[in-house]
Amino acid sequence: MLKSSFKTATMSAAIAIIAAGLSGILPVAAAANGPETSNININSSYNWAGYISNNGTYTAVSGSWIVPQVNAAGNSSGDVTWVGIGGINAHDLIQAGTQAVTDRTGNIDYRAWYELLPGTSVLVAVDIKPGDAVTVTIVKQPDDNNWMITLKNDSNNQTFSKTVNFVSSLSSAEWIEEMPLSNIGWLPLDDFNQIQFTNGWTIKDGVKVNIADSGARTITMNNRVGDALATPSLLGDDGISFTVARTDAESTPAYRVVYARSYRSNFGYGHRTRHFSYVPGQERLSYRFNGRAVND
């Protein structure tokens, strides 16, 4: 970003209760674990839409996008945009991006973040607003397991850059629009209209290639009844660009929460949670938390 259905009415009530009891916006973790499946040719997910490439060894990924203006309809909702390495064939994922979260009163909170699964997301001090151009680049360093994460707001020239230590399977690269998970369950996917990715590239098997030359394929986000929520376009002729469009389908919650915990940061008090991506039809969740195998 897994089964055990979670009823829509219960989910909506939980969101309303939590939103009513918190002041301000509820921060959410922005990351997602990979689809829980042995079928590497999956093309749909309950919470990912975009492009994935997983037929090589990946040591860098980059992409740019324009932060969309979210339509605040008075309901708790959200969307997350990111690029990352890992998470398709394995449970590791290093990623960074932006998110928008709307509360019941129509307030919208835009943030930037990075995450190293199975850890939780870390908000970063880069101001984000609709219309901003953002570029994220994640590059493995020559040192063992060191990575450089760079998130730049090209519109206001604010940049976050950090070297982190992370053990990666190097098994995939992703350019993703996601439905986020809060501390009390899935937030319905907001109405972001569409988002355009540009300048997408990765280093695959030691060679810098664009999205097209990486052999990436589309993944469509579906709701629980199988209707498409967000659909990626074909790649542009340049091989580095595509859009993800929000459809009119209802964003129905599909699963109950598996794990959530609280955190404090200089952004105030809130909740971080684990995110997962998965494919319709999977009946079993298996993931690792603090080195311990967990099944649901």
Please state which CATH class domain 8-71+87-105+125-288 belongs to.
Answer: mainly beta
Q: Is-contact 262 271, C-beta < 8 A?
A: yes
Segment of 14-18, 154-158, 267-271, 284-288 carrying the highest mean pLDDT: 154-158
Residue-wise pLDDT for 56-81, tens only, equals 999 999 999 999 999 876 678 899 99
Q: Per-domain residue ranges for the chain? A: 8-71+87-105+125-288
For residue 213, pLDDT over 50 is answered with: yes
Q: What is the pLDDT of residue 272?
A: 36
Distance in angstroms (rounded) separating the CA atoms of residues 273 and 51:
24
The residue-averaged pLDDT of 261-271 equals 28
For residue 224, pLDDT over 80 is answered with: yes
Whole-model pTM above 0.85? no
Q: What is the pLDDT of residue 74?
A: 63
Q: What is the pLDDT of residue 180?
A: 87
Residue-wise pLDDT for 68-121, tens only, equals 999 876 678 899 999 999 988 778 999 999 999 988 788 899 999 999 998 889
Distance in angstroms (rounded) separating the CA atoms of residues 149 and 132:
19
For residue 245, pLDDT over 70 is answered with: yes
DSSP states along the chain? ---SB--HHHHHHHHHHHHHHSSS----B---BPP--S-TT--EESSEEEEEE-SS-EEEEEEEEEPPPPB--SS-EEEEEEEEE--SSSS-EEEEEEEEEE-TTS-EEEEEEEEEETS--EEES----TT-EEEEEEEE-SSTTEEEEEEEETTTTEEEEEEEE-------EEEEEE--EETTEEPPB-B--EEEEEEEEEEETTEEEETTTTT-EEEEEE-TTS-EEEEE-PPPTTSS-EEEEE-SS-----B----EEEEEETTEEEEEE--B---TT----EEEETTEEEE-
Q: What is the pLDDT of residue 2?
A: 28
Q: Which residue has the higher pLDDT, 47 or 254?
A: 47
Q: What is the pLDDT of residue 187?
A: 85
